[in-house]
Amino acid sequence: MTASDIDFPTDRHGWAELLPARQTRPPLETDHRAAWAVIGAGLTGLACARRLAALCPDGEILLLDAREVGQGASGRNSGFAVAVSHFPGGYSAKERHNYARVNRINKAGLNLLNDQILEHGISCQWSAAGFHHGAADHWAANECGHFKRYLEAMEIAHTLLDGEAMAARLGTHHYRAGIHVHDGALLQPAALVRGLADSLPANVRLFERSPVLALETGRPIRLRLHNAMVATDKVVLATNYEAGKLGYLRRRILGSTLSGSFTRRLSGDERADLGELDQWGLLSLHGGGATVRLTMDGRLSLRNTAEYRAAALLTGRQLAQRQVRHRAAFQARFPALQHVPFEYGWSGVEGISRNETNYFGRQDNGVYFAGGYNGSGVTRGTAFGTALADYAAGGQSSLIGDCLASAPGQWIPPRPFLDIAAALAIRARFKDVGRDR
């Protein structure tokens, strides 16, 4: 299986555009021999390379990314580091073990990120004060009750909030109920990924704008790039939904395209009307509901579209069309701020599996993969990447055991059946979303 340079699109619509310019690393343009190669410098690849560097302090680890750091999926999410996953529907006692396993993985990733941010002084608007889950309509309010019972059964710290309490905290009367889960963090995703990349150990060599176009198994494994060939003993694919471009999991993971918008920075008076919190984040309790944030630097961000576009980012024209939906949802929540314009828009792709499982382990001789995070990639990708380094190096740990216990992924049909199935799945995702959109 081979890819081409045009298979790795990017654009200048994303969280990275809110940051100062960064000096990128040059592409790899000479042949190279290394014991380890990690493909993908998102959160999974960065975590894996960092851990491999500690396990092999005298070895060199190549880290190859097709794009600039921060322009992939890891720098284009809404900036929630999840510690506690939301499992829709009523609490099931027989699933308690699985709930706990997934949350252990989330928590491991959160702790790893928190430690690395502190150790390296990474400036990424990190705030480890948890976030809110909100319900604006009847369906989500019913789900709020399910979520409450799950949190109580799992003994997870949380605070129940009625509509007035939500308004006092967030400055909007749009939500009839909510829950603040105390564990978890908010962040600027592109700043986090950049900071992790710029603080890698010395024995990790990062090459940006270096897409791997073909992978040939054997001894050694050979990676073909545009102007170079890499020979390596072991390869980690930290490519999430793009693994299929190199011949792996082509019918197991697909990409769903999301989009959102940012306002300009709010004035002091405008922020004063947004409740008692300096920053906050809200996830809808409806799976198709809007994700909303007040960021540390004083912007409101709202994401409320998800669609199947064969893992493509939106064009500028398409993004402008989606911003009509962003605007309507924004004004419904913040009518007093309808004069505040959007300054940036963004789109990003999340890797999803048909049965919402994750992938972890060996795919071929010397080839390892982790991915398919279904919207929880900040913490889960960090944990999976770290555990995969240990696993590929022959280690054992409870975290490896938790990652390996992920349920098998279900087969995804090819096109055109995929397009039909994806359209139906997206329609189901937004069913009964009402005011939560």
Question: pLDDT tens for residues 82-135?
Answer: 999 999 998 999 999 999 999 999 999 999 999 999 999 999 999 999 999 999
51 contact partners, CB below 8 Å, separation of at least 6: 385, 386, 389, 390
Tokens for 360, please give them: 């972890």
For residues 11 and 160, membership in a common domain is answered with: no
For residues 63 and 194, membership in a common domain is answered with: yes
DSSP state of 286: S
Query: What pLDDT, on the 0 to 100 scale, is given for residue 426?
Result: 67
The answer to whether residue 392 is domain-embedded is yes
For residues 339 and 374, membership in a common domain is answered with: no
For residues 343 and 363, membership in a common domain is answered with: no
Sign of CA dihedral 249, 251, 252, 258: positive
| Pairing mode of beta strands 158-162, 359-364 | unpaired
Residue 361 region, left (φ>0) first, then alpha (ψ -120 to 50), else beta?
left
The answer to whether residue 306 is domain-embedded is yes
168 contact partners, CB below 8 Å, separation of at least 6: 275, 276
For residues 369 and 321, membership in a common domain is answered with: no
* CATH number of the domain to which 202 belongs: 3.50.50.60
* CATH number of the domain to which 341 belongs: 3.30.9.10
For residues 132 and 45, membership in a common domain is answered with: no
Query: What pLDDT, on the 0 to 100 scale, is given for residue 217?
Result: 96
For residues 222 and 244, membership in a common domain is answered with: yes
Query: What pLDDT, on the 0 to 100 scale, is given for residue 7?
Result: 76
151 contact partners, CB below 8 Å, separation of at least 6: 84, 158, 179, 181
For residues 273 and 350, membership in a common domain is answered with: yes
More confidently predicted of 251 and 122: 122
For residues 290 and 431, membership in a common domain is answered with: yes
User: Strand order of the sheet with strand 300-307?
Assistant: 158-162, 177-181, 131-135, 280-284, 291-294, 300-307, 253-263, 342-353
Q: In 328-375, where do the E strands start and end?
A: 342-353, 359-364, 367-371
For residues 146 and 271, membership in a common domain is answered with: yes
The answer to whether residue 421 is domain-embedded is no
Q: What are residue 140's phi and psi, to 5 degrees?
A: -65, -35
Rg (CA), the chain: 21
The answer to whether residue 56 is domain-embedded is yes
Q: How far apart are CA 158 and CA 146, in angstroms?
A: 14
Question: Residue 287 — pLDDT band, cuts 50, 70, 90?
Answer: confident
Domain carrying residue 343 = 126-187+255-354+426-436
Tokens for 55, please give them: 């396990």
Q: In what helix (H) or strand (E) does residue 152 lie, and over which residues does it extend?
A: helix 138-153
User: How large is the average pLDDT for residues 310-316?
Assistant: 90
> pTM score, two decimals?
0.95
248 contact partners, CB below 8 Å, separation of at least 6: 237, 363, 364, 367, 369
How confident is the model over 27-75, as pLDDT tens digits? Answer: 999 999 999 999 999 999 999 999 999 999 999 999 999 999 999 999 9
For residues 264 and 345, membership in a common domain is answered with: yes
pLDDT cut 70: percent of the chain above it:
96
Query: What pLDDT, on the 0 to 100 scale, is given for residue 200?
Result: 98
Query: Structurally, how many domains does the chain consist of?
Result: 2
For residues 282 and 346, membership in a common domain is answered with: yes
Tokens for 110, please give them: 């959160």
The answer to whether residue 87 is domain-embedded is no
Query: What pLDDT, on the 0 to 100 scale, is given for residue 84?
Result: 98
Q: How far apart are CA 54 and CA 40, in angstroms?
A: 19
- Determine the 3-state secondary structure of 282 from DSSP: strand
Q: How far apart are CA 273 and CA 48, in angstroms?
A: 43
